[in-house]
Amino acid sequence: MNYFSDADKLKAKFNGRVVGHLHTNYPIKKISWFRVGGCAELLFKPKDLNDLKKFMRIKPRNLPVTILGGASNTLIRDYGIPGVVIVLDRAFNYIKQTAVDTIECGAAVPSKKISNFALKNNLGGLSFLNTIPGTFGGAVKMNSGAYGAEVADILISARFINNKGNELECSPADICYGYRSSNISDDMICISAIIKGSIANKDEIIKEINRYKKHRDAAQPIKERTGGSTFKNPVDIKAWELIRDSGCSGLSSGDAIISGLHTNFIINKGNATAHDIELLGEKIKKRVKEKTGIDLEWEIRRIGNGPKVEL
Ligand SMILES: Cc1cc2nc3c(=O)[nH]c(=O)nc-3n(C[C@H](O)[C@H](O)[C@H](O)COP(=O)(O)OP(=O)(O)OC[C@H]3O[C@@H](n4cnc5c(N)ncnc54)[C@H](O)[C@@H]3O)c2cc1C
């Protein structure tokens, strides 16, 4: 494991000035779905919104800031993440109904919890969140979606803290959503969102959720160490079909393999490193490009430092 030798010095800049938890050389693989990756030089879990704002205001200007939710869409490289990794905690894990068909939720709320809350309150249109791992903050950034719906369809507004510690509100139009993309810059921290559902029949919502769960269980390796879809679907084609038809199924790299259930999912079957996973992804990209001429685009976010990936 690579450690950051100046991590204690970095922490000392914040000691006694913020209230939340500060951990040096935190093994970030503990929270990553892939269970790989190096350390965060400094991990900060703000106690509340004021603590987060204070941190952003007093931090050195050039300090790299990375924000993570459930790390279910992220590959953290093996040499770790320099600077600070911010993970929102309990103060940002709340849901409340603000009107008959709207919900406000903190960015640390698991997306699944929003769907369960909506079910309790007879709100339809949010069932797709039930099977998406991770937090709603991550979903807002990624425009996460499934079964024909995505965050852009339900978002009324989202609140952010910027790099200077100022709070601002954005509409979906400000965010310029596209397929699994947004223009939210990497130093903008989503703290909460307001979303809308539509009044619906509880039995119908239950049926819908069960249908989605059944499909997931059958079609995706959701209990494995994975990062979900590795690549975005090109226009009018499924990435998994391109990968299958290009004969990639047997490709591997160390303990990183392609799922037998879904060819667009890479799995860490035990002791894979982030480098193994990234290398396998690049092998897949190369093979698909050679066979079809199509350049697959990574959907999984790759962050931090690691050995060079050479094919
Ligand atoms: C088994 C499996 C199935 C999946 N299925 C789907 C699916 O059907 N549809 C789909 O769209 N995705 C899917 N994913 C991917 C992933 O679950 C979603 O993208 C999810 O919404 C990411 O949330 P997260 O909190 O884990 O984000 P992270 O992985 O922690 O972060 C993702 C990105 O969002 C940023 N981010 C995280 N939190 C915040 C915040 N508070 N403010 C600003 N930026 C933030 C990060 O910096 C990073 O750039 C799947 C993943 C797995 C492992």
Strand partners, 84: 42, 65
Q: Helix 202-219 crosses helix 111-120 at what angle (to 10 degrees)?
A: 150
How far is Cα 294 from Cα 291, in angstroms, rounded to an integer? 8
Helix (H) or strand (E) holding 65: strand 65-68
How does the average pLDDT of the chain come out, rounded? 97
Q: Give pLDDT tens digits for 123-170.
A: 999 999 999 999 999 999 999 999 999 999 999 999 999 999 999 999
Which listed residue (32, 182, 229, 259) is catalytic? 229
pLDDT band at residue 2, thresholds of 50, 70 and 90?
A: confident
Q: Which of 57, 90, 123 is the last residue of a domain?
A: 90
Residues 63 and 104 in one domain: no
Q: Are 281 and 268 in contact (CB under 8 A)?
A: no
pLDDT for 262 equals: 96
Q: Give pLDDT tens digits for 29-38.
A: 999 999 999 9
For 251, the domain range is 221-303
Q: Are 106 and 191 in contact (CB under 8 A)?
A: yes
Residues 124 and 179 in one domain: yes
**Residue type for position 291:** K
Q: Give pLDDT tens digits for 215-268.
A: 999 999 999 999 999 999 999 999 999 999 999 999 999 999 999 999 999 999
Buried b (16+ CB within 10 A) or exposed e, 48-79: ebebbbbbbeebeeebebbbbbbbbbbbbbbb
Is residue 290 among the annotated active site residues?
no
pLDDT band at residue 1, thresholds of 50, 70 and 90?
A: confident
Phi and psi dihedrals of 139, rounded to 5?
A: -65, -35
Which listed residue (104, 150, 278, 299) is catalytic? 299
How far is Cα 223 from Cα 220, in angstroms, rounded to an integer? 9
Q: How many angstroms separate the alpha carbon of residue 93 from the centre of ligand 1? A: 16
CB neighbours of residue 30 within 10 Å: 10
Protein residue closest via CA to atom 14 of ligand 1: 228
Q: Which of 62, 90, 118 is the last residue of a domain?
A: 90
Is residue 299 among the annotated active site residues?
yes
pLDDT band at residue 272, thresholds of 50, 70 and 90?
A: very high
CATH of the domain at 30: 3.30.43.10
Q: Give pLDDT tens digits for 27-62.
A: 999 999 999 999 999 999 999 999 999 999 999 999
Pocket test for ligand 1, best of 29, 67, 73 (most atoms within 8 A of CB): 73
Is residue 211 among the annotated active site residues?
no
CATH of the domain at 246: 3.90.78.10
Q: Which of 59, 90, 121 is the last residue of a domain?
A: 90
Residues 232 and 243 in one domain: yes
For residue 98, is it within any domain?
A: yes
Residues 245 and 283 in one domain: yes
Which listed residue (77, 180, 182, 278) is catalytic? 180
